[in-house]
Chains A and B, each alone.
Chain A
Amino acid sequence: MTLELVCPAGTPSALRAAVEAGADAVYCGFRDETNARNFPGLNFSAEELHEGIRFAHRHGVRVLVAINTFMRAGIADAAADPWKIALACAEDAGADAVILADLAVLDHAATHHPGLRLHLSVQAAAATPEAIGFYAEAFGVKRVVLPRVLSVEEIAVLNQAIAVETEAFVFGGLCPMTEGRCALSSYATGRSPNLDGVCSPPEHVDYAQAPEGTTARLAGFAIDRFAPTQLAGYPTLCKGSFVAGGKTSHLFEDPVSLNAAGLVARLAKAGVTALKIEGRQRGKGYVAEVVRTFRAVVEAVETGRDPVEAERRLSSLVEGGRQTSGAYRKQWR
C-alpha cells in the first residue's frame, strides 16, 4: 500500500518547496475568510492558485484546496458569497479536491460542482462511522481528515466501519479541542478559526519585552511568560499558562508539536490512506525540511529500511521545542 504525503503551502513559494521536497499532494487556501489559515500576507489569489496547480501537476503532484471555515449567515447576494466564489475558483483552477467542513458549503459543492472531489476537513470533527457515513452518503465525500483525538487502535476500528479514505495528521501544531467547535479565540478576541479563519488573530497578539522575559498577551489577557532562555510557543489560549488551584501550569495543553513519524507503519496498517503535515502558516524552510523528512520516513516504512531519526531531524522546528505522539498513543487518558 502506498501512503500519500499531504503537505502544507501558505504561499506559492512554499507550494514549490513542498513539491520539490517530495509531496504527493499539497493543500492550500484562498486569501480570505474561507480557509482556516487566514493570516496577513498568507495564502493564494485565484491567479496564484492557477499557476500553483499548473506547477504541481507538471510534477505529478495533486493540489487540495481548503475551504474549511463555516459559511456566514445572511449573505444576501449569492454572487458575492466568498465560499461559493472559492468553490468555483478551485474548480476552475483544476483543483484535485476541496477540503470542506460546513454543511452548507458541502451541499453547495455537491449540487453545483459535482465534478469536484470532496474531502471532509478536520474542522468537521467527524470521528464516528455514523458521522462519516452521513457526510459520505449526503454529499459524496471521498476522504475524511481525522480529528486529532483518536488512538491508532481506534482509527483501525473506524476504518473497518467506513467506506471512505482517511487522512491522519502526522506532524505539526496540535489542537487539543474538539476542532471546529472551539470558542476560546472567539471568547477573547471576537474572531475564531471556525468563522474567520484565524485562531488568535495577530492584531490581538502582543509581546512585551522585559529583562525577566517576554510576556505574550492576547486581547489584553496575559497568556504566558517566557524567560529569556525558555523555548516559546504560539500565542493561543489553549496553550497558555494559567494559575488554577494555586498552581501555575499549562492548564489545557503544553506548547508541543505532534510528531507521529514513529507511528507511520502502524497508521498504514490501520488503513490510513494519507498522512498530513500541518503548517500552512510556516515558512518554506520548515515545509522543505519536514516534507523531506517524512518522504524518507514513508520510503523507509514501505521498503522495510531502518527508521528515520525524524524526532532528531525536526527537533528545532517544533513549538516549545517538544514533540509528542499526541492521542495516537493516548497515554494521557
Chain B
Amino acid sequence: MTEREKGELPGFVRALTAPSRLLPLGLVLTLALRGLAKRRPALFDRLGEHARRSFVIEPSDMAFAFVMVPDGAHAEVRTVARGRAAGDVHVLGPLLALLGLLDGTFDGDALFFNRAITVSGRTDALLALRNAIEDAELRPSDLLGLEGRAGTLADASILRVVGTLQRLTGLQPDGMPS
C-alpha cells in the first residue's frame, strides 16, 4: 500500500506544512488544552486515572509527533521528532485521520479495523481518551478558546480546509481511502 493510498497528505501539502515544525506548537497546544480544562472540566472526568498517562500521537505524514498528558489544569503537550517519542500509549496514523477522530467524523474502531491507524501501549488509557474525545464533540474554537462570531468563523474556515484535504486524500467517514 502506498502512502497516498493510506490517506496521507499529498506531497505539496506536506511541503506547505513543513515550516510548522518551527512553531512553538507544544506551548500553544498546552495552553489550549489547559484553557479547555478550565472551560469544560467534565470533559476530562471521563479519563479518570488515565488523565496522567502520556499519549504519543504520531501523524505518519508529519516530521514530528506530539506527546500529550491530558491532566486537566496540568495538561501538557510537547512536540518531538518522529521516532524519538516515548509514552504510555502510541497512536500512529495520517494527520487527517487523527483530526477526524478529534471531531468525531471518523470512527476509531473502523480506523483500527481498516489499519488506517496502529496503536500500542496501554489499551485501557487509549480507550478512555477515545471515548472522552468522542463525547466532547470538539471543534477548533474549543481548542482556540474562541467564542461567538470569532468561534463560528474559525470553525467554518478550519473545518472547510480539513474537509477539503480529507476529500483530496480520499478519506471517507470511516477513515478508509475511497
- What is A's interface to B at a CB cutoff of 8 Å? 10-14, 39-42, 201-203, 205-209, 214, 226, 228-235, 281-286, 289, 316-321
In whole Å, how far is B46's beta carbon from the nearest beta carbon of chain A?
A: 4
Q: A41-B131, A283-B134, A285-B173 are in contact. Are A318 and B50 (CB under 8 A)?
A: no
Among B107, B125, B135, contact of A13 (Cβ-Cβ < 8 Å): B135
Q: A11-B131, A230-B115 are in contact. Are A41 and B1 (CB under 8 A)?
A: no
Docked complex: B104-127 residues within 8 A CB-CB of A = 104-110, 112-115, 118-120, 122-127
Q: B123 and A41: CB pair below 8 A?
A: no
Among B1, B46, B118, B132, contact of A209 (Cβ-Cβ < 8 Å): B118
Q: Which residues of A contact B129 (CB under 8 A)?
A: 41
9 smallest CB-CB distances across A and B, nearest first, come from A41-B131, A41-B128, A40-B128, A11-B135, A202-B124, A205-B123, A316-B174, A286-B107, A285-B107
In whole Å, how far is B108's beta carbon from the nearest beta carbon of chain A?
A: 6
Report Cα–Cα, A226/B174, bound state, in Å.
19
- Name which of A41, A42, A203, A283 has the most chain B CB atoms within 10 A of its CB: A41
Q: Which residues of A contact B119 (CB under 8 A)?
A: 207
Known: A40-B128, A319-B109. 20 other contacts (CB 8 A): A13-B104, A13-B134, A39-B131, A40-B48, A40-B124, A40-B127, A41-B48, A201-B124, A206-B120, A209-B118, A209-B120, A231-B114, A232-B112, A234-B109, A283-B106, A283-B108, A283-B130, A285-B105, A316-B176, A317-B174
Among B104, B107, B113, contact of A320 (Cβ-Cβ < 8 Å): B113
Report Cα–Cα, A20/B148, bound state, in Å.
25
Among A10, A214, A226, A316, contact of B131 (Cβ-Cβ < 8 Å): A10
In the complex, whether B172 has a CB less than 8 A from a CB of chain A is: yes
Q: Which residues of A contact B46 (CB under 8 A)?
A: 41
Q: Which residues of B contact A316 (CB under 8 A)?
A: 110, 114, 172, 174, 176
Q: In this complex, what residue of A is CB-closest to B135? A: A11
Among B115, B120, B124, B134, contact of A11 (Cβ-Cβ < 8 Å): B134
In whole Å, how far is B151's beta carbon from the nearest beta carbon of chain A?
A: 19
Report Cα–Cα, A286/B108, bound state, in Å.
9
Q: In this complex, what residue of A is CB-closest to B174? A: A316
Report Cα–Cα, A39/B131, bound state, in Å.
9
Q: Which residues of A contact B120 (CB under 8 A)?
A: 206-209
Q: In this complex, what residue of A is CB-closest to B106? A: A285
Number of A-B contacts (CB under 8 A): 109
Report Cα–Cα, A232/B175, bound state, in Å.
14
Docked complex: B23-69 residues within 8 A CB-CB of A = 46-48, 50
Report Cα–Cα, A166/B134, bound state, in Å.
31
Q: B109 and A286: CB pair below 8 A?
A: yes
Q: B104 and A283: CB pair below 8 A?
A: yes
Q: Can you report 10 A-B residue pairs in the complex whose CB atoms are below 8 A from each other?
A: A11-B131, A13-B134, A13-B136, A201-B124, A207-B120, A207-B123, A231-B113, A232-B114, A282-B109, A283-B108
Among B113, B131, B132, B135, contact of A232 (Cβ-Cβ < 8 Å): B113
Q: Which residues of A contact B135 (CB under 8 A)?
A: 11-14, 41
Q: Which residues of A contact B131 (CB under 8 A)?
A: 10-11, 39-42
In the complex, whether B147 has a CB less than 8 A from a CB of chain A is: no
Report Cα–Cα, A14/B110, bound state, in Å.
16
Docked complex: B58-115 residues within 8 A CB-CB of A = 104-110, 112-115
Report Cα–Cα, A256/B94, bound state, in Å.
26
Q: In this complex, what residue of B is CB-closest to A12? A: B135
Q: In this complex, what residue of B is CB-closest to A283? A: B107
In the complex, whether B137 has a CB less than 8 A from a CB of chain A is: yes
Q: A11-B131, A11-B135, A41-B132 are in contact. Are A232 and B110 (CB under 8 A)?
A: no
Q: A232-B113, A316-B114 are in contact. Are A202 and B174 (CB under 8 A)?
A: no
Q: Which residues of A contact B47 (CB under 8 A)?
A: 41
Q: A317 and B107: CB pair below 8 A?
A: yes
Q: A41 and B110: CB pair below 8 A?
A: no
Q: Which residues of B contact A319 (CB under 8 A)?
A: 109, 113
Q: Which residues of A contact B1 (CB under 8 A)?
A: 228-229
Q: A41-B48, A316-B110, A317-B107 are in contact. Are A14 and B134 (CB under 8 A)?
A: yes
Q: A289 and B123: CB pair below 8 A?
A: no
Q: A226 and B115: CB pair below 8 A?
A: yes
Report Cα–Cα, A233/B115, bound state, in Å.
10
Q: Which residues of A contact B123 (CB under 8 A)?
A: 202-203, 205-207, 235
Q: Which residues of A contact B118 (CB under 8 A)?
A: 207, 209, 214
Q: B124 and A286: CB pair below 8 A?
A: no
Report Cα–Cα, A235/B127, bound state, in Å.
13
Q: B104 and A285: CB pair below 8 A?
A: yes
- Name which of A14, A39, A207, A318 has the most chain B CB atoms within 10 A of its CB: A207
Q: Which residues of B contact A13 (CB under 8 A)?
A: 104, 134-137
